[in-house]
Amino acid sequence: MTTASSAPLLKVRNLSVYFRLEEGVLTAVDRISFDVFGGQILGLVGESGSGKSMSMLALARLIPQDIGIIAADELSFDGEPVLSMNTRQLKALRGPGIGFIFQNPLSSLNPLLTIGSQISESLRSHMGLSRKAAATRTIDLLARVGIPDPKQRVDDYPHQFSGGMRQRAMIAMAIACEPKLILADEPTTALDVTIQAQILELLVSIVEETGAGVIIVTHDLGVAANICDHVNVMYAGQIVESAPVDDLFYRPSMPYTWGLLDSIPRIDHAATDVLPFIGGRPPDPMDFGSACRFAPRCSYARPACIARMPNLSDRDGVAHLARCLGTESSGWLEVQS
Amino acid sequence: MSQPQDMMADMQDGTPTTVLAIPATRPRRRKPVWRRLLLSPSAIALIIIVLLAAFAGVIAPYGEAQINPVAALEPPSFAHLMGTDTFGRDIFSRVLYGGRLSLMIGCSAAAIGATIGVLVGMAAGYFGGRIDSIAMRIIDVLLAFPGTLLAIVIVAVLGPNLLNLVLAVGIASVPGYARLVRSLSLSIRESDYVTAARATGVRSWTIIFRHVFPNLRNSVIVYATLNIATAILNAAGLGFLGLGSKPPTAEWGLMVADGRETLEIAWWITAFPGLSILVTTLVIYSFGETLTAALDPRQSRQ
């Protein structure tokens, strides 16, 4: 599926997001770096609060400016530096450049406006379409995302749509202006499994059709395994492992990833078995300290892990990076296969 | 976006259990909002009140300022449905004539207050930061004066006439709207659909008018319906101080004030204009309720 062109669509180098609070500075995202190419699906996985959604919002500078600070050595979309964009450039970035699909399709749709008017909103402001042309295109979009009877449903309100249809409508909104990059923030979390499969299928077909790049945020490794080309695992604001999808699942090189993989329910295990879980809680984002952030919860941790923060270093796989002293070549851990 | 039909066919072939169609027999269209609104009891009552005031000249049995010293302070009777005041003027006629002025003052003042207050409140709440601080400090200064006092100052500065009276009462009611709307905007700003709209590159003022306003509209309508009554009373207070309508003119608030001295011997002078204010307020309030229900797509289909 990797039909990557030479220049990355999105280039992120050491992107950080901070929040200035009364109690101090909270680090939500800590120096993450990655590239996204057209036609590529990048997964961002990790537990709640690991900074996944915040890094998504930061990519389009949607962090509230009064308290949030976005810093990066480089954050460029299609060669354009995002952090130095003015209001007009940002407006052109959001919509035609980057399309967003949000987690909760019910609260992401205005309950008082019809589905159609919410989709045509961006069409009219970005593509300068007339009311009529926008309405026609909106119906096409609804048909494209698989809403039955789109001519009728276009005038419905969000509460008249089922959960899956709302998420389809959200996707229609996101792809309305034919964005080059689609950011999907847990697009299937609020949906049941059958609908989830359909939505993912839809997303993949859109990528194949339009060649757009996708970043999909999820805490469901099954979703990541299904559709992603490359996966970044995030923990406590950092990327702790980054690998092509097969590599990540066959040779995970970080105890946190092991924990995530172990805590997936398996069909061949008895239902009465206790599902393995990762004990403890993530560190305080106000004060991460200088140790490995996963060390307090890691059953393989040694004193060296407390002494310093491991770097994101190469593993034997192609483009496989991990942040763990134990699985480095001089480490004490065997990489599980 | 080329082949929508193929796409749908693919999906349904591949996963036959997943057809999302909702029965097509369901009624699709909302009934026309305005027709149902006009036929609601509160709307009919409101129309009657407006018509009574508008056609006061035709309906009223006596003139607005027609003095009849012989018939002074008469209790309600068939000749004078609501009695007469100290000058022998027919209260019923004056209530009808007064309705014109009071409704006009109340509605225009509430409209002025709501327009300014909603705009300021939405801008402050949505943009936050410095705009919020500056706008809210100005509102706080306005809020620090009692509404009536503020209105007196404004009338005193602009000069006492009816237009300035309406303006003064309207401006005096701005802080209430601004505070209410700001707090609502603050929470709406954080909602996912506003983030979603921002993420598709919609302009701030478009978001404010298309997403923020409709979601706080109902609260503003409810507040405004109550505000109309307050505005009528405030205008009356100013009239009483000689800053609004002048005595021979019939105006509900002024009439309530007029009857003060004779309250023990002639309750009707105060009671009927007061009752008019009460009934009008209730009718406007319940019309507001009907209006909010009619404007909400989630309620209107029942």
The model's pLDDT over A9-45, given as tens digits with 9 standing for 90+, comes to 999 999 999 998 888 889 999 999 999 999 999 999 9
Whether pLDDT at A128 is above 50: yes
pLDDT the model gives residue B152: 85
CB count within 10 Å of CB A60 equals 23
pLDDT band at A285 (very low <50, low <70, confident <90, very high): confident
Residue B289 lies in a domain: yes
Q: Are B157 and B239 in contact, with CB atoms under 8 Å apart?
A: no
Q: Which residues of A touch B132 (CB under 8 A)?
A: none
**Quick check: B17 pLDDT over 80?**
no
Using the structure block, give the residue that is written with the tokens 């289909």.
B301
Nearest-angstrom CA–CA distance, B293 and B298: 9
- The confidence score (pLDDT) of residue B29 equals 52
Q: Which residue has the higher pLDDT, B108 or A3?
A: B108
Residue B1 is assigned to a structural domain of this protein: no
CB B185 within 8 A of CB B119: no
Q: Is the dihedral of CA A155, A157, A162, A165 positive or negative?
A: positive
Closest A-chain CA to B129: A66
Q: Which residues pair with A181 in a beta bridge?
A: A98, A213
Please name the residue of chain B whose CA is at the shortest distance from the CA of residue A157: B297
pLDDT in tens, B109-158: 999 999 999 999 999 999 988 899 999 999 998 888 887 888 888 888 88
Supply the pLDDT for residue A242: 93
- Inter-chain residue contact A125 with B203, CB threshold 8 Å: yes
Q: Taking the CA of residue B78 as centre, how many other CA atoms within 13 Å lie in the half-sphere pointing to its CB?
A: 0
Nearest to A106 by CA among A54, A162, A152: A162
- Residue B24 placed within a domain: no
- Classify residue B243: in a domain, yes or no: yes
Q: pTM score > 0.95 for this model?
A: no
| Interface contact B296, partner A, CB < 8 A | yes
Structural domains present in chain A: 1-97+181-196+213-250 (3.40.50.300), 105-176 (no CATH), 289-337 (no CATH)
Rounded to whole angstroms, the Cα distance separating A214 from A229 reads 10
Helices (H), A26-176: 52-59, 87-93, 115-127, 131-144, 150-153, 163-175
Contacts of B170 (CB under 8 A, 6+ apart): B108, B109, B110, B111, B112, B113, B116, B231
- Chain A, chain B: beta-carbon pairs less than 8 Å apart: 129
Contacts with A, B 80-99, CB within 8 Å: none
- 8 Å CB contact of B195 and A90: no
Q: How many residues in total does chain B contain?
A: 302
Whether A68 has its CB under 8 Å from any CB of chain B: the answer is no
A chain contacts of residue B8, beta-carbon cutoff 8 Å: 143, 146, 148
Half-sphere exposure at residue B151, Cβ-oriented, CA atoms within 13 angstroms: 34
Q: Is residue B181 part of a domain?
A: yes
The helix/strand/coil state of A307 is helix
**What confidence tier does B9 reach under pLDDT thresholds 50, 70, 90?**
very low
Structure confidence at residue B7 as a pLDDT band (50, 70, 90): very low
Which pLDDT does position B31 carry in this prediction? 56
pLDDT at B5 over 70: no
A91 vs B201: CB contact, 8 Å cut-off?
A: yes
Question: Which chain A residues are within 8 Å of B129, Cβ to Cβ?
Answer: 65-66
Binning pLDDT at 50, 70 and 90, where does residue B62 land?
confident
SS3 category, B283:
helix
Quote the pLDDT of residue B32.
Answer: 64
Q: Does B20 touch chain A (CB under 8 A)?
A: yes
B21 and A CB contact within 8 Å: yes
Mutate to test the interface with B, among A62, A63, A89, A108 (most CBs of B within 10 A): A108
Q: Which residue has the higher pLDDT, A329 or A85?
A: A85
Q: For residue A334, give both structure tokens.
A: 């065997």
Question: Is the CB of A104 less than 8 angstroms away from the CB of B20?
Answer: no
Is A291 in contact with A309 (CB distance < 8 Å)? Answer: yes
Q: How would you label B42-77 residue by residue, b for 16+ Cβ within 10 Å and e otherwise?
A: bbebbeebbebbeebeeebebebeebeeebeebebe
Query: Of B200, B207, B296, which to mutate for an interface test with A (greatest number of A Cβ within 10 Å)?
Result: B200
Task: Mark which residues 138-167 of A lie under 8 Å from B by CB.
Answer: 140-141, 143-144, 146-149, 152, 155, 157, 159, 162, 164-165
For the cut 70, the answer to whether the pLDDT of residue B13 exceeds it is no
Token digits of residue A220: 């469901």
CA distances from A132 to A122, A128, A176, A194, A217 (A): 14, 11, 15, 35, 35
Q: For position B8, what pLDDT does the model report?
A: 46
HSE-CB at A51 with a 13 A cutoff on CA atoms is: 29
A241, with CB counted inside 10 A (0-12, 13-18, 19+), is: buried
pLDDT of A178 over the 50 cut: yes
Whether residue B25 lies inside any domain: the answer is no
CB contacts of B201 in chain A (<8 Å) are 90-96, 122, 125-126, 177
Structure letter (DSSP) for residue A149: S
Whether the pLDDT of residue A156 is over 50: the answer is yes
For the cut 60, the answer to whether the pLDDT of residue A316 exceeds it is yes
- Cβ burial of A203 (10 Å; 0-12, 13-18, 19+) is buried
One-character DSSP codes across A274-301: PPP---S-PPPTT---SS-TTGGG-TT-
pLDDT at A184 over 80: yes
**pLDDT tens digits, A255-283:** 898 888 888 777 777 777 777 788 788 88
Asked if residue B300 is part of any domain, the answer here is no
Name the amino acid, one letter, at B11.
Answer: M
Q: Which of A145, A90, A92 is nearest to A115 (CA)?
A: A145
The candidate with the shortest Cα–Cα distance to A117, out of A159, A180, A63, A173, is: A173
Is residue B14 a part of any domain in this protein?
A: no
C-alpha A181/C-alpha A215 separation (Å) is: 8
Percent over 90 (pLDDT), chain A: 28
Domain extent, residue B179, equals 33-62+82-295
For residue A126, pLDDT beyond 80: yes
Using the Cβ of B25 and the Cβ atoms of chain A, whether some distance falls under 8 Å is answered with: no
pLDDT over threshold 60, residue B12: no
**pLDDT tens-digit map of A189-231:** 877 888 888 889 999 999 999 999 999 998 888 888 889 999 9
Residue B58, pLDDT above cutoff 50: yes
- Interface contact B18-A173, CB threshold 8 A: no
Question: Does any CB of chain B come closer than 8 Å to the CB of residue A215?
Answer: no
pLDDT of B288 > 60? The answer is: yes
Q: Contact B68/B85 with Cβ under 8 angstroms?
A: no
Residue of A nearest to B218 (CA): A112
* Residue B120: CATH number of its domain: 1.10.3720.10
Query: Do B201 and A93 lie within an 8 Å CB cutoff?
Result: yes
- Cβ separation A94–B191 shorter than 8 A: no
Sheet architecture: strand order including A321-322:
A98-101, A181-185, A213-218, A41-45, A230-235, A238-244, A321-322, A313-314
What pLDDT is recorded for position A181? 93
Residue A142 pLDDT class (50, 70, 90 cuts): very high
Report the gap between the CA of A228 and the closest CA in chain B (Å): 20
Residues of B in contact with A164 (CB under 8 A): 20
* pLDDT at B299 (0 to 100): 63
More confident residue, B12 or B259: B259
Contact B294, B37 (CB under 8 A): yes
The count of domains in chain B is 1
Residue written as tokens 């603050």? B186
